[in-house]
Amino acid sequence: MEKRTLLAIVISIAILLFWNFFFIEPKSPEQPQGQIAQTEQTEPREQSTVLQVPSQGQDQAQQPVPGETIVVETPRYRAQWSTAGGTLTSIQLKDYRENLAPDSPPVETIKTPMPTVSVNDQPVDSSIVYEASKKGDPDIPEELVFSAQVSPGVTLKKIYTIDPQTYIMGYRTVVENGTSSPVTADVDLHLNGAYPLDMDKDGYAFQGPVLLNGKHLEEFKVSKVKKVGVYREFTGEIKWFGFEDKYFLSTVIPAGSPETTLTIRRISEEMVRLTYDTEPSRIEPGSSMERSYEIFSGPKELQTLKSAGNELRKALDFGFFDIIAKPLLMGMNWIYSFTMSYGWSIIILTIIIKILLYPLTLKSFTSMKELQKVQPLMKELQAKYKEDKQKLNQEMMKLYKEHKINPMGGCLPMLLQIPILFALYKVFYQAIELRHTSFHLFGTWLPDLSARDPYFITPILMGLSQFVMQKMTPTPGDPTQQKIMLIMPVFFTVLFLNFPSGLVLYWLISNILSIAQQAYINRKHT
C-alpha cells in the first residue's frame, strides 16, 4: 500500500509538471493589440494637447547616436552611463569575478543599456543625446542628471541617485512642461535583455525575465517567446521586474507598486523586452510629472537581498525544496560567521543534521536487526504459502506485529535524507555564497565548492565510505537484495562525480559519521 500510494503521488506530480511545461502557452499578440486599439477609440480625449514626440523610423531606431561615457566608481561596483539615451551601459561588480583566473575581469550585470523610455509610445532614447550633470569629476555624485528636450518646450530628465554602500540606486523620470498649454504624456519604461533564440541554457538554474506580481514570483521562460512579436502580459501589483541568471539580478522597483501591466515581448531574434506600462498624465503649463523607481543590480546573496527590501529576497528561489533549502543556507551562513570557512561550515552543518537524525538512525538499525532475526520464519512462511499470495501477506503482517517490527523503519532515515540532499544540491548549485569558494581537505584543494571536484578525490572517498557503511549495515537475508545493496556505492560514486564538491563533501562527512554511529551501535547491541 505504501508503495502504491507513493507511486500515485509521484505520477500525479509528474503529470502536473508535464502539463505546466508543455501546455501553458504565451498569449498571442493579435488579440491584445486589437483590444488596445478599441480602447483608444472609446476613451474620451482629455482637454489637453497630446505631447508630440518626433517619430523614429525602424532603421533610425536601430542606429543609436554616439554619446559620451560617464563613469562612477563606488566601493561595490564600477558603473558607466552614456549620454546617448541617458542609460546605464555597464555595472561591474568589484567583489565578483567571471572565473577563478587571477586576471579574471569583474562580473558584468548589464548586458544591454537600461532603462530606456518611450513617450506616448514613441522611443526617444535611440536618437537623443542628453546633457549630463557630471563630466570628468572623480567624486561620487549624490545625483546624476541627464536632461534633453523631447519636444519644443518640453524637457525629459533621467535622474540617478547614487548610494555607494549598496547595490541600489534611485531612478526618476521627470517631464517638465515649459509650454503655455497643458500636455498629456505617457512615459513607459523598458528593459531589454539579450536572449538569442539559440542561447544555451545554463544547467538547471533559471535565467531570463523575472517579476514579483503581488506575492507571486514569476520566472518567465524565454523559450515561450520563440517568435518575434509573441508576448505575455502580467497585470496587477508589479512590485519589481527585471532579468536574472543563476547568481545575479538586475531589476527595477517601481515606487508604490501601483496596479499596472508588465509586458514581456520578443522584439528580435536576439532581444526580449520588458515594458512597464504607466497611466498617461496631464501636465499643466510650468509643471512637471515625475515617476520614481529604484534599480538593483547585484548578487542574489541572501543577506544582500534582505537588506535591499522590497521583497527582493524572493528572487532567491530554490524551487520545490525552497522551504528546506533556505533554512539550510541560513544555518550555513550563521556557522560561517564563526568559522569564516564554508568548507568547515558544511562539515559542522552535517554533524548537526546527523545528531538530529540519530534517534531515527537508532530505530532504523533496531528494525533491521529484528528483520534479520525473523528471516528464518519469513522463509518458512514463503515456502508454506507460496501458492497463496494473499494468505502470505496476512501471515507476514501478523509476524511483524508479533515481533513489533516496522518493515519500513529501516528506510525512514534515508527517506528523510533525500529531501535534505536535494535541497543542499540546489543550495550548492545556486547560492552565490559558495561560488568560487575554495576549501582544503584531505590533502587536496577544492577550488570551488559550487563546482565539481576537478581531481575526483572526494567522490572516490565518498564511494569507499559508502561501501564500508554498506558492509556494516544489517542487510536482508535475500542474496539478490544483498548484491543490489553492494552495487549502490558504485552507483553513488558515478552519480556524484559531477555534483558540486560542497554536496559531495556533505555526503562524505555524513557517511563517515554514519560509520562511527554504526560501529557504536553494533558494539552496544552485540
Domains contained in the chain, CATH given:
62-311 (2.70.98.90), 324-525 (no CATH)
466 band by pLDDT with thresholds 50, 70 and 90: confident
Residue with cell 544547467: 203
Burial (0-12, 13-18, 19+ Cβ within 10 Å), 277: middle
CA–CA gap between residue 26 and residue 77 (Å, rounded): 36
**Can you give the pLDDT at residue 408?**
61
**Can you give the pLDDT at residue 54?**
59
CA–CA gap between residue 248 and residue 252 (Å, rounded): 14
Provide the grid cell at 304. 544582500
Q: List the single range of 2-16, 158-172, 294-308, 363-377 with lowest mean pLDDT.
A: 2-16
Residue with the larger pLDDT of the pair 412 and 198: 198
Contacts of 249 (CB under 8 A, 6+ apart): 210, 242, 243, 296, 297, 298, 299, 300, 305, 312, 315
CA–CA gap between residue 353 and residue 346 (Å, rounded): 10
**Can you give the pLDDT at residue 345?**
94
Strands laid side by side in the 106-108 sheet: 69-73, 77-82, 87-97, 106-108
Longest dimension (CA), the chain: 104
pLDDT exceeds cutoff 80 at 278: yes
pLDDT exceeds cutoff 50 at 377: yes
Q: List the single range of 9-13, 23-27, 263-267, 514-518 with lowest mean pLDDT.
A: 23-27
Q: Which residues of 441-468 are buried (b: 16+ CB within 10 A; e: fewer)?
A: beebebebbbbbbeebbbbbbbbebbbb
Residue with the larger pLDDT of the pair 38 and 154: 154
With vertex at residue 155, the alpha carbon angle to CA 257 and CA 56, rounded to the nearest 5 degrees, is 85
Nearest to 47 by CA among 286, 282, 278: 282
pLDDT in tens, 149-184: 888 889 999 999 999 899 999 999 999 999 888 888
Q: Could you tell me if residue 373 is left (phi over 0), alpha (psi between -120 and 50 degrees) or otherwise beta?
A: alpha
Q: Is 76 helix (H, G, I), strand (E, B) or coil?
A: coil
**Can you give the pLDDT at residue 352?**
93
Number of neighbouring beta carbons within 10 Å of residue 32: 15
pLDDT exceeds cutoff 90 at 221: no
CA–CA gap between residue 252 and residue 294 (Å, rounded): 6
With vertex at residue 505, the alpha carbon angle to CA 504 and CA 506, rounded to the nearest 5 degrees, is 90
Q: Which residues of 105-115 are buried (b: 16+ CB within 10 A; e: fewer)?
A: eebebbebbbb
CA–CA gap between residue 204 and residue 329 (Å, rounded): 19
